[in-house]
Amino acid sequence: MNAEIIAVGSELLLGQIANTNAQFISEQLARYGIDVFFHTVCGDNEARLMDTVKHAESRADLLIFTGGLGPTKDDLTKETIAAALGRKLVLDQKAMDSILAYFRTTGREMTENNRKQALVIEGSHVLPNHQGMAPGMVIENKEHTYLLMPGVPSEMKPMFIEFAKSYLTRHHARNIRSRVLRFFGIGESQLETRILDLIDAQSNPTIAPLAKESEVTLRLTAKHDCPEETVKMLDRIEGKVRERVGRYLYGYDEETLPEVVFKLLNRQRKTIAFAESLTGGMAAEWLTDFPGASSVLNGGIVCYTNSVKQHVLGIPSDVLNSDGAVSARCAELMAASVREKCGSDIGVAFTGVAGPDKSEGKKVGTVYIGLSEGQKVVSYLFHFNGSRRKIRIQSVKTGYDLVRRQLLNLPVLEQ
């Protein structure tokens, strides 16, 4: 089964709100083997909406509508679809009772146009709206299924999860399983080049690359009537991907680099501390996102100026004057000092030029990351590009990847 998601509302076309509903629904449908081939946005115009419905019927089995179920004259979705299907609108008494109860509870006067929200398309399967007034509905008509839901995300999402999802899985879903592979240290184009033949040959399972901030993900999706076989299919295609780019793979699904490092530190009973210049505390902040971070994070020092580097971390003035704050030597001393001062097993330091101007004669994007553990102290030089924010994010993610590789005794990627 393939679907088209149609968002109804002139406010979407005017850019007044973003169409987050389509993203949410697409993500949900992907889990149940329902392919979404088109997202459409249509204004509050009956003729244009009718054309949209006819066009969608020519290329989709499941038509999902969000918006246009409210009480005002420009809410035209169910009226238009009822006309397209040659069906009447009828009163749903449960919806009407719910609307009346709402107005009694709030002590507000109900205007007559609110009764419109209790109308549903004749013969539809009604979806209750526990977060608002207008119910949703599902209509089966020959080769097409029509799903109508409110446009307000706080109403649409609970309705989909509580009612629409179970209906679709009972009537239209296939067994499907997805697995997201997460990569760091390789660009999207480079990764795609290395597995291009696998992508070109894909059918089932499918391989979908996606670039995010300084990372790349591959979503592997398999469909099969047998759940166990879908897992085997995913294992086989993952094995082929690993053969090509496995050295860049750091995690699965919703895992992040900080989360992976957090788990490794916990498992190995090790602690960490950060000395941050250009990153301004970002590395420590990311680790504190996880409950129990105090078990692995001993502390951190934001050493944005040379004065703090010298007087708090104890970096010798001759190093700052000769090598500079943005240097391998400074990064190594920072990492060793913060490890010692915070009493941690591992010390990580970030120093560099985030921009927009050069510093110490070094180009924007020049970053040194220091790593200290036991008697071992090393530093790595990187040349990042992009905005100030992007350089800082690349620096922190790279630092986490260096820690991950050290904890797992993996080789550091060549620069």
pLDDT digits (tens, 9 = 90+) for 80-134: 999 999 999 999 999 999 999 989 988 989 999 999 999 999 999 999 999 999 9
Amino acid identity of residue 12, one-letter, is L
In 10 A of CB 209, how many CB atoms?
Answer: 16
Q: Are 79 and 88 in contact (CB under 8 A)?
A: no
Q: What is the pLDDT of residues 222-236, one digit of tens each?
A: 988 788 999 999 999
**46-57 and 77-85 helices, crossing angle to 10°:** 50
- Rg over alpha carbons for the chain, rounded to the nearest Å, is 28
Q: Does residue 356 have a cis bond before it (omega within 30 degrees)?
A: yes
Q: Which amino acid is at 361?
A: G
Instruction: Write the DSSP assignment of 104-118 as a string of letters.
Output: HHHTPPPPGGGGGGG
Confidence (pLDDT) at 415: 60
For domain 177-252, give the fold: Alpha-Beta Plaits (3.30.70)
pLDDT digits (tens, 9 = 90+) for 43-85: 999 999 999 999 999 999 999 999 999 999 899 999 999 999 9
307-364 pLDDT, tens digit each: 999 999 999 999 999 999 999 999 999 999 999 999 999 999 999 999 999 889 999 9
Residue at token pair 């204004």: 43
Contact of 41 with 101, CB cutoff 8 Å: no
Q: Quick one: pLDDT at residue 216?
A: 95
For 170-204, the pLDDT digits (tens) are 887 667 788 999 999 999 999 999 999 999 998 88
Nearest partner of 174 among 293, 20, 33, judged by Cα: 33
Query: What are the φ and ψ backbone dihedral angles of 337, each rounded to 5 degrees?
Result: -70, -45
> How is residue 205 written in tokens?
């399972």
String of DSSP letters for 117-134:
GGEEETT-EEE--SSSS-
Looking at residue 173, its pLDDT comes to 64
Q: Which of 53, 100, 48 is nearest to 74 (CA)?
A: 48
User: Average pLDDT, stretch 281-286?
Assistant: 98
In the chain, the percentage of residues whose pLDDT exceeds 70 is 99
* 347 phi/psi in degrees, rounded to 5: -120, 135
Reference 238, options 224, 260, 253; nearest CA is 253
Q: Which helix (H) or strand (E) holds 367?
A: strand 366-373
Judge contact between 410 and 373, C-beta under 8 A.
no
> First CA to last CA across the chain, in angstroms?
46
CA distance linking residue 11 with residue 217, whole number of Å: 33
Residues of the chain with CATH 3.40.980.10: 2-171
pLDDT average, residue stretch 285-297: 97
Say what the pTM is.
0.74
- With 0-12 CB in 10 A as exposed, 13-18 as middle and 19+ as buried, what is 243? exposed
Fold assignment, 257-407: Maf protein (3.90.950)
* CA 197 to chain centroid: 27
pLDDT tens-digit series, residues 136-168? 999 999 899 999 999 999 999 999 999 999 898
Give mean pLDDT, residues 14-36: 91
The 3-class secondary structure across 14-75, one letter per residue, is CCCCCCHHHHHHHHHHHCCCCEEEEEEEECCCHHHHHHHHHHHHCCCCEEEEECCCCCCCCC
Pick the closest to residue 42 from 56, 28, 29, 30 (CA basis).
Answer: 56
Within the chain, all domains assigned CATH 3.90.950.20 are found at: 257-407
> pLDDT at position 33, please?
75
How far does Cα 131 stand from its chain's mean position?
Answer: 25
pLDDT of residue 203: 86
Predicted confidence band at 32 (pLDDT cuts at 50, 70, 90)? confident
Strands 119-121, 272-276: pairing kind? unpaired
| H-helix or E-strand spanning residue 19 | none
Ranges for all domains in the chain classified under CATH 3.30.70.2860: 177-252
Question: What CATH number does domain 2-171 carry, 3.40.640.10, 3.40.109.10, 3.40.980.10, 3.40.50.2020?
Answer: 3.40.980.10
| Residue 212, pLDDT above cutoff 90 | no
